[in-house]
Chains A and B, each alone.
Chain A
Amino acid sequence: MRVTFTVNGRRHEADDVWEGESLLYVLRERLGLPGSKNACEQGECGSCTVRLDGEPVCACLVAAGQAEGRDVVTVEGLAGYEAARAGTAPREVGTVQQAFLDAGAVQCGFCTPGLVVAADELIERNPAPSDADIREALSGNLCRCTGYEKILDAVRLAAGRAAAPEEVS
């Protein structure tokens, strides 16, 4: 079948999609967007988190056909998505992504694409999250390297910078 949908603001068509293919497979293997990761392919690890019409979802649990006509944002488009939301000029690296770098929240990085998409969604929804809010929002994203402490640091940092953008150097 053919699936047509928008990814990171651009319209894409994928042909010869087998009905059993997930949105994750189509993004990674047919559209050349391997940023969303394939750590479990059963909705447990969150490494494939994308926005589907704004909702954070595990792309591995969305059948490709369900994305027909809809709007998808992946990690590759996260900085642009944030800029469009804020009405600012696009940057290469978004606020949450920069905070992950500055806080040392990246080790192997396999969980990072899903986490930055999920954390960006949290901050959009709740600009001043408490630690308990951060933990609850990110509880669907497994990380095996960091012990999460620096991920918490990164989200606090990103929320602070998003609230006071002039402080970003």
Chain B
Amino acid sequence: MAGTADTTAATGAGAGARTGTGTAGATAVGARTGTPDGVGASARRPDGTLKVTGEFAYSSDLWHEDMLWGCTLRSPYAHAEIVSVDIGEALAQAGVHTVLTYDDLPAERKNYGLEIKDTPALAHGRVRYHGEPVALVAADHPETARRAAAKIRVEYRELPVVHDEDNALAEDAPLLHAGREDDHAAHVPHPNIVHRQPVVRGDADAAARRADVVVTGTYQVGMQDQAFLGPESGLAVPAEDGGVDLYIATQWLHSDRKQIAPVLGLPEEKVRMTLAGVGGAFGGREDLSMQIHACLLALRTGKPVKMVYNRFESFFGHVHRHPATLRYEHGATRDGRLTHVRCRIVLDGGAYASASPAVVGNAASLSVGPYVVDDVDIEALALYTNNPPCGAMRGFGAVQACFAYEAQLDKLADRLGMDPVELRQRNAMAQGAVMPTGQVVDSPAPVAEILRRVKALPLPPERQWEAAAEGGRGAVDVRALPGGLSNTTRGEGVVRGVGYAVGIKNVGFSEGFDDYSTARVRLEAAGGEPVALVHTAAAEVGQGGVTVHQQIVRTELGVGHVTVHPADTRVGSAGSTSASRQTYVTGGAVRHVCGLVREEVLERGRARFGAHHPAWTSAELLLEGGKVVTSGGEVLASLVEVLGDEPVEAVGEWRHRPTEPFDLTTGQGFGHVQYSFAAHRAVVEVDIELGLVKVVELACAQDVGKAVNPDAVVGQIQGGTTQGLGLAVMEEILVDPSGRVRNPSFTDYLIPTILDTPTIPVDVLELADEHAPYGLRGAGEAPTLSSTPAVLAAIRAATGRELPRVPVRPEHIVDV
């Protein structure tokens, strides 16, 4: 096996492999810097060259001899009874190999779900949302499959639609899921509420009496889509042992497998999964899409089956960000100290639970924002409705709350006649602050500082459309104006506004979840140099986890040549690529296992060479630059000499310190392992006659604890900022009162283009969190929070309008 480190041939942990379990407390903060492209360097992506040359194999690029194409038939109604299904004509089409419905599901288990298993693999007697899967086709050409699906005759009888809080919670409301037995069923006040979490601390009523100023508001957040570019897709290959091999784009292989295997009627070990190239995720791949369907078709036909959604189907194939209605009351004394917050957050979870319970927990626990407020009365809940299912999207419950509480802070500043940044800084939390949940924030929380930094940046020049223009005095570059190349203004009616916002996001899985990751690391001599292999099941979705794993191995083992094994289920779970957690948790696992490998190497070195040099037993030894060195820098041996012909390999799990569930009535508890903070300043120009907005600049300051890869961190911050911009001014899935999705395409659902996106200066702080590996702080989500309210604050400043809803549209800015 030596010398094959660049291939995927390395086998699982064999004899002699060390195993171990670590915890956050077992490792010390601080990275060594002895090997190039280690922790703290902007190392290049290992998959970069393949991606720029078009050779990287995404899940939609896979091909297999003799493969078929799968297609899904989906419900045209949001709520209907299925009276009958006739597959005869579809099955008779030339080129069609099979058609499957609910009756063909092979196992007793028919449903799946991340937490609550309420989602049918194929609809049974009833559909609960527009786009719910009803039947499957496998054929020899994708168009043949689509045409055959259109020939499946389904008779529906429409049912009354549950579409908002009022009709979901009415006494005679149709129940989305009667007879619930999930963990939340017992404590929710109505069966159309998935989960409800109050957070009560202090005495909000008494505190309200101390307030000199009270502001209230009702805010709305539209349904945002992750809009990852790589469509849901994968290839299922039936195996001789009756199992299946699935090559798939996902955020968490092991969570998928746990949901897939029971519906297929297979033990988990017969569902072997390998991560295919993932074209973005942003939460939209936490839930299953075509995984079970492709496996069912492959197992039934005995042939490999590929499924690839087109963009239209993708809008139905994954959950979205919860739309929300948020009612807030903030009080403050005349000098700008917050007295209390009361709020009620209602999230629309749609037809199935997905991640709604955890989104509720986040919205409730983070609803006050990064401010110190001793007296709070908070309630957050998610509804079951016949709208599209909603679940994870970057920011996960904290986005909706941040939009509302930051609007409230601006409203309060206005009422107090105080500068909005100063009001925020006056109430900003810092290390040692107590959250509304009672949790003490026990690592740096530089909220006032990141606000100070974005405010101190120079403002972009006024009338920049003139500066950008060629042709001298009076010339205008319309590309720099609201409306752009539509040429709707040459500067007249354009008003500038500046706005600020700051947010707080949790990092990692919360509320008592056993949030761990597994890594396997192998070190060997090959071709006269030491090479390492790192193997995890962590989903690389574009964020650069593979780069980070290489960097950690380089730093910990002093080896330049590190190969990343493809992520698959031959190694233990890495947890989800979500909640800003992978650098922290799988990074932590890789670091921990590198420590096990290092110990084994040093033991071997002592056994072989200890007699020749006393430093082997007396000194602190490091692995750097391919050598064993003392902390004083003396070289004791090369790794090649120590390793000889025998690789060193270790496997281990690593978990962050435990969290605990929130109390169901008070919301108190050590619920989150870490918090992450970002602040934005938005500069906008608004054509106040047409209601068109040009975002000119969106500056961000964020604390990341330790920038393991500074370039990648900035890329995360700029990307997250841009998704927040999209929610602010353009992105919304429109659902009509009958529950039907009106804009499932990139023609009608708009995401920011390079023309819509401004310059995004980024200021990265690195204040170490002593509980986290290298002191790092999960970075991916926080910038998505504060971006949206900063843009809204800037538009309010330019227009004087209240603008309580996102996305803001021209008709909200001008009266039409």
The interface of chain A, by Cβ under 8 A from chain B, is 18, 20-21, 28-29, 32-42, 44-45, 47, 74-76, 78-79, 92-93, 97-98, 100-101, 104, 106-113, 116, 130, 132, 134-136, 138-152
Query: What is the interface size of chain B, counting residues whose CB is below 8 A from a CB of the partner?
Result: 63
CB pair B754 A138 closer than 8 Å: yes
CB pair B747 A42 closer than 8 Å: yes
Nearest CB in chain A: distance from B608 CB, A: 41
CB pair A106 B52 closer than 8 Å: yes
Q: How far is the CA of A113 from the CA of B720 in the complex (A)?
A: 22
A41 contact set on B, CB distance < 8 A: 310-311
- Which 8 pairs of residues, A with B, have the shortest CB-CB distance? A35-B54, A108-B542, A109-B51, A147-B718, A110-B279, A75-B54, A44-B746, A147-B722
A-B Cβ contacts below 8 A, count: 184
Given A104-B42, A135-B755, 7 other A-B contacts at CB below 8 A? A20-B143, A35-B54, A40-B310, A41-B310, A101-B48, A107-B280, A144-B751
Given that A74-B54, A135-B479 are known contacts, is A39 also in contact with B231, CB under 8 Å in the complex? yes
Given that A74-B54, A107-B542 are known contacts, is A146 also in contact with B755, CB under 8 Å in the complex? no
Q: Does B502 contact A (CB under 8 A)?
A: no
The interface of chain B, by Cβ under 8 A from chain A, is 42, 44-45, 47-49, 51-58, 60-61, 63, 141, 143, 226-231, 277-282, 308, 310-311, 468, 477, 479-480, 485, 541-544, 711-712, 714-715, 718-723, 745-747, 751, 753-755, 757, 759-760
Q: How far is the CA of A39 from the CA of B51 in the complex (A)?
A: 15
Q: How far is the CA of A35 from the CA of B57 in the complex (A)?
A: 8
CB pair A106 B48 closer than 8 Å: yes
- 18 A-B contact pairs sorted by A residue (CB < 8 Å): A38-B308, A41-B311, A42-B747, A44-B311, A44-B746, A45-B746, A76-B53, A107-B543, A109-B52, A109-B277, A113-B54, A130-B468, A132-B477, A139-B753, A142-B751, A144-B228, A148-B757, A151-B754
Q: How far is the CA of A136 from the CA of B277 in the complex (A)?
A: 30
B542 contact set on A, CB distance < 8 A: 107-110, 145
Q: How far is the CA of A111 from the CA of B477 in the complex (A)?
A: 28
CB pair A144 B754 closer than 8 Å: no
CB pair B757 A150 closer than 8 Å: no
Nearest CB in chain A: distance from B687 CB, A: 18
CB pair B279 A39 closer than 8 Å: yes
Nearest neighbor of B42 in chain A, beta-carbon distance: A104
A147 contact set on B, CB distance < 8 A: 715, 718-722, 757, 760
CB pair B755 A76 closer than 8 Å: no
Q: Which of B51, B477, B745 interacts with A40 by CB under 8 Å?
A: B745
Q: How far is the CA of A100 from the CA of B48 in the complex (A)?
A: 9
Q: How far is the CA of A75 from the CA of B49 in the complex (A)?
A: 12
Q: How far is the CA of A97 from the CA of B53 in the complex (A)?
A: 7
CB pair A146 B715 closer than 8 Å: yes
Q: Which of B61, B278, B754 interacts with A139 by CB under 8 Å?
A: B754
* Majority SS at the chain B contact face: loop
Most buried by A among B48, B229, B760: B229
Nearest neighbor of B279 in chain A, beta-carbon distance: A110
CB pair A100 B143 closer than 8 Å: no
B759 contact set on A, CB distance < 8 A: 149
Given that A41-B311, A147-B757 are known contacts, is A116 also in contact with B280, CB under 8 Å in the complex? no
Nearest CB in chain B: distance from A106 CB, A: 5
CB pair A112 B52 closer than 8 Å: yes
A40 contact set on B, CB distance < 8 A: 310-311, 745-746
Q: How far is the CA of A34 from the CA of B235 in the complex (A)?
A: 15
CB pair A146 B143 closer than 8 Å: no
Q: Which of A38, A74, A97, A148 interacts with B754 by CB under 8 Å?
A: A148
Nearest neighbor of B69 in chain A, beta-carbon distance: A29
CB pair A132 B479 closer than 8 Å: yes
CB pair B541 A108 closer than 8 Å: yes
Q: How far is the CA of A107 from the CA of B720 in the complex (A)?
A: 12
B141 contact set on A, CB distance < 8 A: 18
B58 contact set on A, CB distance < 8 A: 34, 37, 110
Q: How far is the CA of A28 from the CA of B61 in the complex (A)?
A: 8
Q: How far is the CA of A106 from the CA of B44 in the complex (A)?
A: 10
Q: How far is the CA of A147 from the CA of B756 in the complex (A)?
A: 10
Nearest CB in chain A: distance from B43 CB, A: 10
Nearest CB in chain A: distance from B49 CB, A: 6
Q: Which of A74, A110, A130, A149 interacts with B230 by CB under 8 Å?
A: A110
CB pair A150 B715 closer than 8 Å: yes
Nearest neighbor of B58 in chain A, beta-carbon distance: A110
B57 contact set on A, CB distance < 8 A: 34
Q: How far is the CA of A121 from the CA of B247 in the complex (A)?
A: 34
CB pair A152 B745 closer than 8 Å: no
A116 contact set on B, CB distance < 8 A: 52
Q: Which of B279, B479, B485 interacts with A109 by CB under 8 Å?
A: B279
B277 contact set on A, CB distance < 8 A: 109
B226 contact set on A, CB distance < 8 A: 144
A138 contact set on B, CB distance < 8 A: 754
Nearest CB in chain B: distance from A144 CB, A: 5
Q: How far is the CA of A20 from the CA of B60 in the complex (A)?
A: 20
Q: Which of A18, A34, A98, A112 interacts with B51 by CB under 8 Å?
A: A112
A136 contact set on B, CB distance < 8 A: 479, 485, 755
Nearest neighbor of B469 in chain A, beta-carbon distance: A132
Q: Which of B52, B56, B485 interacts with A97 by CB under 8 Å?
A: B52
Nearest neighbor of B54 in chain A, beta-carbon distance: A35
CB pair B280 A38 closer than 8 Å: no
CB pair A110 B280 closer than 8 Å: yes
Nearest neighbor of A28 in chain B, beta-carbon distance: B61
B61 contact set on A, CB distance < 8 A: 28, 34
Nearest neighbor of A117 in chain B, beta-carbon distance: B54
Q: Which of A21, A132, A142 interacts with B753 by CB under 8 Å?
A: A142
Nearest CB in chain A: distance from B525 CB, A: 29
Nearest CB in chain A: distance from B621 CB, A: 35
Q: How far is the CA of A101 from the CA of B57 in the complex (A)?
A: 18
Given that A108-B278, A142-B751, A147-B757 are known contacts, is A39 also in contact with B229, CB under 8 Å in the complex? yes
Q: Which of B55, B281, B714, B721 interacts with A76 by CB under 8 Å?
A: B55
Q: How far is the CA of A111 from the CA of B227 in the complex (A)?
A: 12
A39 contact set on B, CB distance < 8 A: 229-231, 279, 311
B45 contact set on A, CB distance < 8 A: 101, 106
A38 contact set on B, CB distance < 8 A: 60, 231, 308, 310
CB pair A152 B229 closer than 8 Å: no
Most buried by B among A18, A45, A104: A104
Nearest CB in chain B: distance from A117 CB, A: 9
Nearest neighbor of A79 in chain B, beta-carbon distance: B53
Nearest CB in chain A: distance from B680 CB, A: 12
Nearest neighbor of B230 in chain A, beta-carbon distance: A110
CB pair A149 B746 closer than 8 Å: no
Most buried by B among A75, A130, A147: A147
Nearest CB in chain B: distance from A120 CB, A: 11
Nearest CB in chain B: distance from A168 CB, A: 15
Q: How far is the CA of A74 from the CA of B192 in the complex (A)?
A: 51
CB pair A42 B52 closer than 8 Å: no
CB pair B755 A47 closer than 8 Å: no
CB pair A47 B754 closer than 8 Å: no
CB pair A93 B746 closer than 8 Å: no
Nearest neighbor of B278 in chain A, beta-carbon distance: A108
Nearest CB in chain A: distance from B737 CB, A: 27
Nearest neighbor of B52 in chain A, beta-carbon distance: A97
A132 contact set on B, CB distance < 8 A: 468, 477, 479-480
